[in-house]
Structure 1
Amino acid sequence: MKIFSIVLLLISAFLSFKHGWDAFQPANAQQAQMMSELGITKSVMPYFGAFSILIGLMLFFPQTFLLSNILNAVTIVLIMALSLNAGNYKMALIEIPFLAMPLVMIWLKYPFKS
């Protein structure tokens, strides 16, 4: 169980860092269209990127592990809500496994704590 928890932690942190870094990169046409459909402007993207990187860093500390998973789940629910508001049901459904990840990590607890 501990190995599974460590793997989930590493995957979640990697995804947070990747999404955070991607927010600072110039968006390709498909990303730009998806963001505009959700109502997210180009000027807000760096804030989302910094927030995502911060969440990824917070995952590695036992004091902030719970908070980072809660923030990650809230962010994913926000993306799902914006997708449903835009009528993009496919995107909302795709986010379900990513929503399950922080919830499972909360249930498994911080893996490096004895």
Structure 2
Amino acid sequence: MKIISLLLLLVSAFLSIKHGWDSFQATSPEQTEMMTQLGIHKTILPYLGVFSIVVGLMLFFPPTFFLGNSLNAISIVLLMAFALNAGQSRFALMEIPFLALPLVLIWLKHPLEP
């Protein structure tokens, strides 16, 4: 179980940090259009990027593991809510596995925790 937890932790942290880093990079017109459709303005992307990177780093430390996964799950639910509000139900449904990841990690506990 600890190996599975470690692998999932690495995947979750990688995804969180990657999405955070990508928000600082030049976005494609498709990404900009998608964010506009969701109601997320370009000016807020750097703040979301910092948030995502911090959450990804929190996952590595046992004392902040639960909070990091909770914030990750909340941000995914918020993104799903924006998608549903914009009529993008397919996008919201595609986020379900990413919502399950932090919840499964909370259930498995941190791999270094006794």
TM range (shorter): over 0.9
Deviation of 1:91 (Å): 0.4
DSSP 3-state at the match of 2:47 = helix
Deviation of 1:107 (Å): 0.2
Normalised to the residue count of structure 2, the TM-score between the two structures is 0.98
Supply the distance in 2 between the matched residues of 1:37 and 1:60 (Cα, whole angstroms): 33
Which residue is 1:102 aligned to?
Answer: 102
Matched, 1:62 2:62: yes
Query: Deviations 1:43-78 (Å, cap 9, x if unpaired)?
Result: 000000000000010001111000000000000000
Which residue is 1:21 aligned to?
Answer: 21
Matched, 1:30 2:22: no
Which residue is 2:91 aligned to?
Answer: 91
Matched, 1:4 2:4: yes
Structure 2: which 5+ residue stretches go unaligned? none
Deviation of 1:28 (Å): 0.1
Q: What percent of counterpart residues are identical?
A: 62
Q: Post-superposition, which runs of at least 4 consecutive aligned residues in structure 1 deviate over 3 A? A: none
Aligned amino acid, residue 64 of structure 2 = T
- Aligned length, in residue pairs: 114
Which residue is 2:76 aligned to?
Answer: 76
Supply the distance in 2 between the matched residues of 1:19 and 1:36 (Cα, whole angstroms): 17
Structure 1: which 5+ residue stretches go unaligned? none
Normalised to the residue count of structure 1, the TM-score between the two structures is 0.98
